[in-house]
Amino acid sequence: MKTKTQNPLLTSIVISSRYLSVWVAIGLLLLVCLWVAPETLTRTSFTTVMPLTSFLALTALGQMLVVMTGGIDLSTPGIMTLAALMTVGIAGKSDENMPVALATALGVSLLIGLCTGTLVGVLKLNPLIVTLAMGQIVNGSMLAYADKVANEARVPPGFAEWITRPFAFGLNNVESTAIGISILLILIFRYTSVGRKFQSVGANPAAAWILGLRVNGYVILAYMAAAFLYGLSGVLLAGFLQSPSLVLGIPYLLGPIATVVIGGASLSGGLASAASTWASAFFLTLLSQMLRVLGLPTSLQFVVFGVAIIGGMVISGDRIITLIENLLRNSGTLEDAQQVLKDQHAQGGSMPE
């Protein structure tokens, strides 16, 4: 049976709608800020918002890669904190030791990702349980290593200065790094065969295996790349704080997962957007900043923040796609819509960024 020729406009609308909610949410939040807390949008406020957005975005981009394989990663806080402590411990306040410290911290992060990816991809263990267990192992290793690091240990002064040094367009090096990695992922998924194959593996592993793709290899790659981004975020956060603590990574346990979901990623795998994930990180950080500007009690801030996350999940990408499919079911374009949705999930989609 021949299928009807797909409408390019319909295809674009269906795929793009998955990532629409976060952009609408940002627009509404900006209007609310102008109305009730205009101080949130001042230059001084954004000097806090942008770095915090960058740290959340980096960890969320790592989480996004894992979610694209149909998994969830709970080892984020441990990897971030271990990488931060290794940076200050190995560098020993000397900028000359920073290259070795960075290579070691990021290398250990990659090794953790390799172990996790092997357990999930090769042994087919549950990713939630594996990453929870791996997080405990990393936390234990981090506490053991912390005993060898002097109290109030600090990053080398040159590295701390580099973190906040302006790079371009008024952005410092941390912000530019986060945006640069987001752009890199956009280009990989849009223009490279590796990116398209990665999406296909996440969307339909069985079909990808039949087509000859190395499914296990892509799963391992996802966890290694994610761990690398967690470690990088931890290193940069250590430079920003200058003296990292043992609780550095705790705020990044569930935040990146919420960021990815609000950014429109499909929890069944395959479909996600680096641009929307970064936008989602900005939305959550700006919301948190607005609540602080309003002077709300910490308890109420948690409530509002939690309601916002639940609201974002209610209008997540999967739900939006289902809604559009139901709307199209009542029109004369159902056959086109069904074919678009099948192709989207079978091939990983064409990701408009």
Q: DSSP H helical segments within the chain, as ranges?
A: 8-17, 20-36, 43-67, 76-91, 98-117, 127-146, 157-163, 173-191, 193-203, 205-210, 215-241, 255-262, 274-293, 298-314, 317-329, 334-347
Lowest-pLDDT range of 84-98, 230-244, 301-315: 301-315
Q: What is the DSSP string of 204-265?
A: -HHHHHHTT--HHHHHHHHHHHHHHHHHHHHHHHHHHHSS--TTTTGGGTTHHHHHHHHTT-
pLDDT digits (tens, 9 = 90+) for 105-115: 999 999 999 99
pLDDT digits (tens, 9 = 90+) for 196-211: 899 888 888 888 888 8
Q: What is the pLDDT of residue 211?
A: 83
Contacts 24+ apart (CB under 8 A), 9-14: 10/333, 10/336, 10/337, 10/340, 11/340, 11/350, 12/352, 13/324, 14/321, 14/324, 14/337, 14/340, 14/341, 14/344
pTM: 0.87
State the average pLDDT over residues 182-199: 93
pLDDT digits (tens, 9 = 90+) for 224-234: 999 999 999 99
State the average pLDDT over residues 250-273: 87
Contacts 24+ apart (CB under 8 A), 321-324: 321/14, 321/17, 321/18, 324/13, 324/14, 324/17
55 confidence band (pLDDT: 50, 70, 90): very high
Tokens coding 20: 């629409």
Domains of the chain: 8-347 (1.10.3470)
